[in-house]
Structure 1
């Protein structure tokens, strides 16, 4: 835990809803402050201001005046405000005195709008694998048992060509089932040093022979092929599922039923089936990019040398010299009902980027104050 003498900030993610564009996220934050010379009002204001400010900035929202919020908050048990549709509700939960330490707790209902969130400035790193075919016998037509490998390659190309908020920078050369879920996602994210993990599965790949018209009985019956791709994206740090969707096509299959088709051939991808599949991949790319664009851009601390800290974000992630970031630690715990929660402990000192390299960067304290108790595998986030 960070050694903070003046106050400690804890931001607990109580409920995560997938779409930040249309849903809010509840954050509970508590700020502690030392009461100097018996001035309780000043301590209340300091702790509450900082808790609100850090919660809002960490969630990706923006405000014009924290002072205005805290004045209203301190006057009433609850206050409702609206700021460009981003902050829907802030409530005062309680305040506790323990000697000369005051703890003020709030709960904030926050919208992170896509067009305004600062996290959209950074590209989120995504790792994925080849896509298995759920019913492998369906791949016998065309001898396309490894088609999921080529679909993954084409998706990576489509995504990186059109996406603005994220990039699939690594494609692992093996199959992982969509059913593996969060535990495998966390392991893969750490192995690949990525923030998000995309798992996908071809859930439908069947063919159907259409009956010929009675007026043209001599014609070869036409064949159609169904294709459905199911995708899920996980936060590699928490295991939270942030995106899940299935899309499918039904297209004319213009090849002989007994012909072997090369999965990467232009003949396949320039066919009607291939063109419709490319459109499907583009659609899923846009959906995932929109879902990730306003999520916080996380990075990890690689090593600490006195006050010089190296992180795993760099030019490829959109990092620039002079950018300000937030240092934090993240813990997970289960409540008595068995529900998993994430707890974010934010460091009081913001940091600034001093050097940027392709895949890493160096950061230091923005104010020049010492950065105490920072260690490898702590996190940084776009403020």
Structure 2
């Protein structure tokens, strides 16, 4: 059996995060293989096949077609990988010989499928904070200056009740603004061991006094209240935004406009206004859960002890003993036009889960080979 010495994968962050879009995505990857008995054609085919397979599995996609490569020295080869997507085109970028080691670099144009994704087997962990009120003077009616705290808590309850592919496991007890940016997002995710960070802002909480009906002059004037929530979800490893939406409601405000309310009270949340806010939170839950379902399931390396690695994924994330994961390191670079890219370098050895705990796990090499060059804050991903 041909031994693959090293697989190196380079993709843009946008390609990785949106690998299930309806359009094709370009992936560049390179693989090394040993040439046995001078059989360069076999080594070339196997190295190319392994590079494509690793790139697809890492990105959460997969393929099912047989492709005949018509680029340079690959013209007589074919590759078959049975899974659930389609490779539209493969281009040969480079082919380098160094003794009995062959390195093939390719670029593949891939149409992933939406209906299946292996990453959906794992729960995505989310952390959030309290939600600030953009125009605080609007909270004067009802004395709801702390309303953002309880919207966040109620959203956590709704999310964990209705979401299927992710869980909002923590609400940090302080406010963060949507404009805080990448460094704060990454720091919060790292501190709480979350894969995604959800930030939100109550962008509207205004009240409108409605005029009473002249034909029913004995009735008291009624009021209505607007509520809008701006919500964004970020990848905790990179700080990149993966979801953003503004959603709002207008509801009857059945309380006296001079009355102070407890923002956590069932009286408020069982009112028509409270019910509509809850419905809005449920809608956002479904949308966010759908977006996150097929994104890669990333975890961090917490520490390395001999040939065992402890990671921050566990039972609550859907991990099971025997699951196989890919180790990788991530770096950033700017191209000649100043555009920032993410680069992922996969470790040649797969790891398997040998011990499982609530929110951590111990993994070891599948082949038993030493796990060289792995350190804390490197990453693991679901294959």
With the length of structure 1 as denominator, give the TM-score of the two structures: 0.91
Match of 1:181 in 2: 181
Residues 78/284 of structure 1: CA separation in 2 closer, same or farther (3 Å cut): farther
Offset from partner CA, 1:10-69 (integer Å, 9 cap, x none): 23226346583545543221223354554432332132111101011011123357xx44
1:255 partnered with 2:255: yes
> Is the contact made by 1:326 and 1:347 (CA closer than 8 Å) also made in structure 2?
yes
What is the aligned partner in structure 1 of residue 375 from structure 2?
375
Using the TM superposition, give the Cα deviation of residue 174 of structure 1 relative to its aligned residue in structure 2, in angstroms: 0.3
Distance 1:297 1:24, change over 3 A: farther
* 2: CA distance, partners of 1:48 / 1:82: 11
Offset, 1:134 = 0.6
2:169 is paired with a residue of what secondary structure? strand
Partners in 1 of 2:219 and 2:80 — Cα distance? 69
TM-score (norm: length of structure 2): 0.91
- 1:13 matched to 2:20? The reply is no
Aligned position for 1:90: 89
Give the gaps of 5 or more residues in structure 2. Answer: none
**Unaligned regions of 5+ residues in structure 1, if any?**
none
1:121 aligned onto 2:124: no
Alpha-carbon distance in 2 for matches of 1:111, 1:71: 17
Partner residue in 2 for 1:229: 229
- CA apart distance, 1:288: 0.5
Partner of 1:202: 202
Residues 110/148 of structure 1: CA separation in 2 closer, same or farther (3 Å cut) = farther
CA gap of 1:82–1:218, structure 2 versus 1, over 3 A, is farther
Residue of structure 1 in register with 2:242 after alignment: 242
Count of aligned residue pairs for this structure pair: 378
Q: Is the 8 Å Cα contact of residues 10 and 346 (structure 1) preserved in structure 2?
A: yes
**1:33–1:9 Cα change, 3 Å:** same
| 1:246-290 deviation line (CA, Å, top 9, x unaligned) | 111000000111111100111111000000110000000010001
Summarize deviations over 1:359-383 as a string: whole Å, max 9, x none.
1111111122222222111111110
Instruction: Pick which of 212-221 and 338-347 moved more.
Output: 212-221
Does the CA contact (< 8 Å) of 1:91 and 1:106 recur in 2? Answer: yes
Q: Deviations over 1:100-126 (max 9, x none)?
A: 354322233445545411111110110
The alpha-carbon distance between structure 1 residues 81 and 87, as it changes in their structure 2 partners (threshold 3 A), is farther
Question: Quick one: structure 1 residues 13 and 201, their matched pair in 2 at CA, closer, same or farther if it must change by over 3 Å?
Answer: same
Secondary structure at the aligned position of 2:143 is classed as coil
Corresponding position of 1:26: 26
Compared CA separation, residues 23 and 239, structure 1 to 2 (3 A): farther
